[in-house]
Amino acid sequence: MSFGGRVDSGRVSSLRRNLSLSIIVPTYKECGNLKALADRTFAAFGAEPQEERPSFVEMIIVDDNSRDGSLELVESTISKEHPTVRIIVRTTERGLSSAVLRGFDEAKGDILLCMDADLQHPPESVPSMYKPYLTYGSSVVFVLGKREIPETSQWSIARRIISRGATLLAYPLTAGIMTDPMTGFFAVRATAYRTYKSRIDGVGYKIALEICVKCEAASANTKEVTFAFGERSVGESKLTGKVILHYLKHLRGLYMHVYLRKIIVAIIFLTVVAIYYTR
């Protein structure tokens, strides 16, 4: 079965029951992309066989008070054409990760999918992100969209170096789990998210990395789907020096989470052993 993207090798079983899907879209000044995002996403599922569609699809746009017409567009046009699309406007909070978590908390679906509004995560790839849950069943908790940058991409050499460097910095945390920790295109089972929610920090910009590192269920049961990373046509990139600094601080926290716990466990173990042999 073709997923519209390459899925990691594994034994493919028959399709399970269709699951409901909540698509969470964190936004800031992305009004120009929202109509195309909704239209293309629902059209992509409409092109799928009935048995491979979710039982229910909702889209929750979490906007950080853009005041660019996003609220009016969703309420006056998009939600009328697609009744399961709604928008939450946050006026007292800011930040991509916290916006994603707010959407997850509001979602009703069995599967929670996060994607950007800038269309660099192609809406046509959303069904590919959903299908591993049908094909592999409960053995899949986390699905990651692995970016494939086309040779014709307008990415500068500097941005490619930054992306590669950021991936290498995260490698000790993600080896064997995810090959593209910079991705913002991912899905997680709602039950797993709620189980590990108390561990997750709504800071930084790489919420997929945060969830993958801190949720054992996700890190142990992950699939990757390759997709062609698109070009932004409307709006501006959010990659700034401040974003890079936040990422480095985020990495520091994740390394402390992973390795400090291991050090503490090792100290306790050695202490117990020492006490046993010195009695």
Alpha helix ranges (H) inside 121-188: 126-136, 157-174
> Rounded mean pLDDT of 72-85?
97
Q: How does DSSP classify residue 55? A: S
21-237: CATH topology is: Spore Coat Polysaccharide Biosynthesis Protein SpsA; Chain A (3.90.550)
- Quick: pLDDT tens for 91-119: 998 888 899 999 999 999 999 999 999 99
Domain ranges of the chain: 21-237
Contacting residues for 110 by C-beta, under 8 A, at least 6 apart: 19, 20, 21, 133, 189, 190, 191
The structure tokens 């990757």 sit at: 224
pLDDT at 2: 29
Count Cβ neighbours within 10 Å for each residue of 10-26 and write b for 16 or more, e otherwise: eeeeeeeebbebbbbbb
Count Cβ neighbours within 10 Å for each residue of 118-139 and write b for 16 or more, e otherwise: bbbbbbbbbbbbbbbbbbbeee
67 or 182, greater pLDDT: 67
Contacting residues for 89 by C-beta, under 8 A, at least 6 apart: 63, 65, 70, 71
The pTM (predicted TM-score) of the whole model is 0.79
